Chains A and B, each alone.
Chain A
Amino acid sequence: MDNVLGYVGLGAYTSLVIFILLNMMLAASIQVVMASGVFSMASVAFAAIGAYASADLTKYYDVSLGVGMLVAVAICMVIAPIFLVPAQRLQGMYLALATLAFVLVFQVFALNAANLTGGALGLFGIPILTTLPAVFLAAVACAYLLHITQSSRTGRALRTMRFDPQLATTFGINLLRYRLLVLELSAVLGAVSGAFTAHYLAFISPNLYGFGAVTTALSMAIFGGLHFWTGAYLGAGILTILPQLLLGLAGWSDLINGALIVAVMVFQPGGLLVGLSQAARFVRKRVPALAR
Chain B
Amino acid sequence: MLVLQQLINGLILGSVYALFAIGLSLVWGILKILNMAHAAIFTWGATAAFFLLRWVPLPLYLLIPAMMLFTGLLAAIVDFLAFRPVRRQQRNPDDAELATLVTSLGAAAVLLAIDVKVTDNGAVLSYPDALFTIQRVTIAGITVTNLQIGMFVLAVVLSLSAAAFIKWNRTGKAMRAIAVNPDMAAMLGVNVDRLTIATIAVGGALAGAAGVLLGVAFHAIHSEMGEPLLLKAFAITILGSAGSVVGALVGGMLLGVIEASVLTFASASYRDAVSFGLIVVVLLQRPKGIFAGATGERL
On A, residues with C-beta under 8 Å from B are 34, 37, 85-86, 89-94, 96-98, 100-102, 104-105, 108-109, 111-112, 162, 211, 215, 218-219, 222-223, 226, 251-255, 257-262, 265-267, 269-270
Chain B nearest CB: distance from A229 CB in Å? Answer: 16
- Expressed in whole angstroms, the Cα–Cα distance for A292 and B238 within the complex equals 52
Partner of A105, one of B230, B273, B298: B273
Complex interface residues of chain B between 86 and 119 (CB less than 8 A to chain A):
86, 89-90, 94-103, 105-114, 116-117
Contact A94 B231 (CB under 8 A): no
Which of B167-175, B183-191, B195-203, B275-283 forms contacts with chain A?
B275-283
Contacts of B82 in A (CB 8 A): 262, 265-266
Is B234 a contact of A86 with CB atoms below 8 Å? no
Please tell me if the beta carbons of B110 and A255 are within 8 angstroms of each other in the complex: yes
Residues A112 and B270 in contact in the complex (CB < 8 Å), given A89-B284, A90-B287, A269-B90: yes
Q: Identify the 3 closest CB pairs spanning chains A and B, nearest first.
A: A258-B109, A261-B106, A255-B113
Complex interface residues of chain B between 260 and 299 (CB less than 8 A to chain A): 269-270, 272-273, 276-277, 279-280, 283-284, 287, 298-299
B221 interface contact, C-beta 8 A: no
CB-defined contacts of A254 to chain B, threshold 8 Å: 109-110, 112-113, 116
Taking a contact as CB atoms under 8 Å apart, the answer to whether A265 and B102 are in contact is yes
B36, CB-defined interface residue at 8 Å: yes
Contact B99 A265 (CB under 8 A): yes
Partner of B98, one of A226, A252, A258: A226
- In angstroms, Cα B102 to Cα A260, docked, is 11
Q: How far is the CA of A108 from the CA of B235 in the complex (A)?
A: 16
Of the candidates A89, A91, A261, which one forms a contact with B105 in the assembled complex, judged by CB atoms under 8 Å apart?
Answer: A261
Describe B's contact surface by its main secondary structure: helix
Contacts A/B (CB < 8 Å), 24 sampled: A90-B287, A92-B94, A92-B299, A93-B97, A94-B283, A94-B299, A98-B284, A102-B280, A104-B231, A162-B94, A211-B227, A222-B101, A252-B113, A253-B113, A254-B116, A255-B114, A258-B105, A258-B110, A259-B106, A260-B106, A261-B102, A262-B81, A262-B107, A266-B82
Assess the B113–A111 pair: CB atoms within 8 A.
no
Cα–Cα distance between A94 and B112 once the two chains are bound (Å): 26
Q: Is B206 an interface residue (CB 8 A)?
A: no
* Interface residue? B11 (CB, 8 A): no
- The answer to whether B109 touches A86, judged by C-beta atoms less than 8 angstroms apart, is no
The reply to whether B105 and A218 form a contact with Cβ atoms under 8 Å apart is yes
Check if A97 sits within 8 Å of B279, measured CB to CB: yes
Interface check B85, CB cutoff 8 A: yes
B299 near A90: Cβ-Cβ < 8 Å: yes
Q: Does chain A have a CB within 8 A of B28?
A: yes
Kindly list chain A residues whose C-beta atoms are within 8 Å of the C-beta of B34. Answer: 93, 96
CB of A97 within 8 A of CB of B99, answer: no
B145 is an interface residue with CB less than 8 A from chain A: no
* Distance A37 CA – B299 CA, assembled complex (angstroms): 13
Provide the residues of chain A in CB contact with B94, threshold 8 Å: 37, 92, 162
Question: Across the interface, which residues of B come within 8 angstroms of A98, CB to CB?
Answer: 279-280, 283-284
Rounded to whole Å, the gap between the CB of A132 and the closest CB of chain B is 29
Q: How far is the CB of B262 from chain A (nearest CB, A)?
A: 11
Q: B216-256 vs A: 1/0 string, CB under 8 Å?
A: 00000000000100110011001000000000000000000
B5 CB–A CB distance under 8 Å: no
| Inter-chain contacts of A267 with B (CB < 8 A) | 85, 89
Given contacts A265-B82, A265-B102, 18 further A-B contacts (CB under 8 A): A86-B280, A89-B284, A92-B299, A97-B238, A101-B279, A108-B269, A108-B276, A226-B98, A251-B117, A251-B121, A254-B110, A254-B112, A254-B113, A255-B109, A258-B113, A265-B99, A266-B82, A269-B86
Whether A222 and B99, one on each chain, are in contact in the complex, defined by CB atoms closer than 8 angstroms, is: yes
* A260 and B103 alpha carbons, distance in the complex (Å): 10
Q: Please state if B36 and A89 are interface contacts (CB–CB under 8 Å).
A: no
Cross-chain contact B109 with A261 (CB below 8 angstroms): yes
Complex CA distance for A16 and B277, rounded to whole angstroms:
36
Question: Cα distance A211–B228 when bound, in Å?
Answer: 9
In the bound complex, CA of A104 to CA of B279 (Å)? 11
The proximity string for B residues 52-76 relative to A, scoring 1 for CB distances below 8 Å and 0 otherwise, is 0000000000000000000000000
B102 & A89 in contact (Cβ 8 Å cutoff): no
Task: Please name the residue on chain A nearest to B237 by beta carbon.
Answer: A97
Nearest to B28 among chain A residues (CB) is A93
